[in-house]
């Protein structure tokens, strides 16, 4: 075999190898471009979803309230972040959850000029929450409505008696019942705001 005939197959193999390398490099480059474009599209889609989400709630009500408070604090140039206490607000909101969910209403019966409620806390956490809530709520309710709320505790059983001197309010009190009377009024939001900003509206109780 001549030298020329030996070289020819080598040239063919070299050409094939170069073509394969060029094709592989082009394919890899094209794959990287596609991946980059895909990542950009995903990021853009994620940003668009965040910007155009139809949702308004951030999660559960405690989380949503805290997020709203933080947004208001951020928007207020006079916010003193050295005094801000979001943890105090969270603890209070957990108390509100406990006294809403983890209670057993034994009875709700009409009495003269009002309503008597017998109830129990379900668990130690709810029992502690009720003590804190009942230390402040009766006074706030009376300030807003003039209604009297007395609270008695006997062996982890609470007796609430709510009355009014205004006969036109008696049916409202009875209709509201325990949870309605606890939620009644407009003092909750100002108190939550005060807590978040570092003052404790219940500190004098």
Q: Give me the phi and psi of 159, to 5 degrees please.
A: -120, 115
Q: Count CA atoms closer than 13 A to 33's CA, side-chain side.
A: 6
Furthest C-alpha separation in the chain: 124
Give the pLDDT of residue 194. Answer: 78
**First-last CA distance in the chain:** 110
User: 17-26: per-residue pLDDT in tens?
Assistant: 555 545 555 5
95-111 tens-digit pLDDT: 999 999 999 999 999 99
pLDDT tens digits, 51-92? 566 767 666 788 999 999 999 999 999 999 999 999 999 999
Tokens of 126: 């709810």
In tens, the pLDDT along 139-189 reads 989 999 999 999 999 988 999 999 999 999 999 999 999 999 999 987 677
Give the model's pLDDT for residue 76: 93
Q: Is the pTM for the entire model greater than 0.95?
A: no
For residues 22 and 183, give the distance between their C-alpha atoms in angstroms, rounded to a whole number: 74
């Amino acid at each position: 075999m001549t030298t020329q005939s030996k070289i020819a197959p080598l040239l063919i193999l070299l050409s094939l190898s170069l073509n394969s390398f060029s094709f592989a490099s082009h394919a890899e480059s094209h794959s990287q471009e596609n991946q980059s474009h895909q990542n950009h599209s995903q990021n853009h889609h994620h940003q668009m979803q965040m910007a155009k989400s139809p949702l308004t709630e951030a999660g559960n009500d405690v989380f949503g309230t805290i997020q709203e408070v933080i947004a208001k604090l951020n928007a207020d140039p006079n916010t003193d972040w050295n005094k801000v206490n979001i943890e105090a607000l969270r603890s209070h909101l957990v108390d509100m959850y406990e006294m809403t969910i983890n209670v057993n209403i034994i009875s709700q019966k009409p009495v003269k000029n009002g309503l008597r409620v017998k109830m129990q806390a379900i668990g130690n956490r709810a029992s502690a929450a009720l003590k804190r809530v009942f230390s402040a709520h009766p006074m706030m309710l009376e300030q807003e409505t003039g209604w009297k709320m007395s609270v008695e505790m006997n062996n982890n059983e609470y007796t609430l008696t709510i009355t009014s001197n205004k006969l036109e309010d008696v049916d409202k009190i009875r209709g509201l019942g325990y949870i309605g009377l606890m939620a009644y009024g407009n003092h909750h939001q100002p108190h939550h705001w005060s807590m978040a900003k570092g003052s404790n509206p219940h500190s004098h109780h």
